[in-house]
């Protein structure tokens, strides 16, 4: 069981496993029928207010994660389908951000890994 991270703009590969889009908004320039998304969990994404506040600023990363984790704690019902899927096999958290180190998928994986230990 692994939780991989992948930009939606990268080629789809078999090892992606179950593909879960974790963006609140559908990524620009991607047709839904071509994205090979198994599940779109837009409600698990950071709130619009948090996303706009963060604005992909690496200086705000630690504060962003802390605030996002609070949002996730308050929305456990959206996590359960994801946790069930993780226990069944490999998944890829799909995101659209250009910043591959400071985005909600990175933070979400960290959060999920603490729950499945």
Please state, in angstroms and as integers, the Cα–Cα distance from residue 44 to each residue in 12, 14, 30, following that order: 22, 24, 20
Chain mean pLDDT for the chain: 93
pTM of the model: 0.93
Residue corresponding to tokens 């704690």: 73
* DSSP secondary structure, 36-68, as one string: --SEE-GGGSPPHHHHHHHTT-GGGHHHHHHHH
End-to-end CA gap in the chain: 12
What angle do helix axes 61-74 and 76-88 make, rounded to 10 degrees? 100
pLDDT digits (tens, 9 = 90+) for 33-90: 889 999 999 999 999 999 999 999 999 999 999 999 999 999 888 888 888 888 888 8
pLDDT at 117 over 80: no
């Amino acid at each position: 069981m692994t939780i991989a991270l992948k930009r939606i703009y990268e080629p789809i590969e078999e090892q992606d496993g179950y593909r879960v889009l974790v963006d609140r908004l559908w990524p620009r320039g991607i047709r839904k029928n071509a994205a090979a998304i198994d599940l779109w969990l837009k409600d698990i994404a950071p709130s619009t207010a948090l996303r706009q506040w963060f604005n992909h600023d690496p200086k705000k990363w630690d504060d962003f994660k802390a605030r996002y984790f609070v949002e996730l704690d308050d929305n456990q019902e959206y996590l359960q389908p994801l946790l069930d899927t993780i226990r069944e096999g490999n998944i890829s958290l799909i995101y659209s951000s250009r910043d591959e180190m400071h985005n909600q998928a990175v933070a979400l994986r960290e959060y999920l890994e603490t729950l499945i230990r």
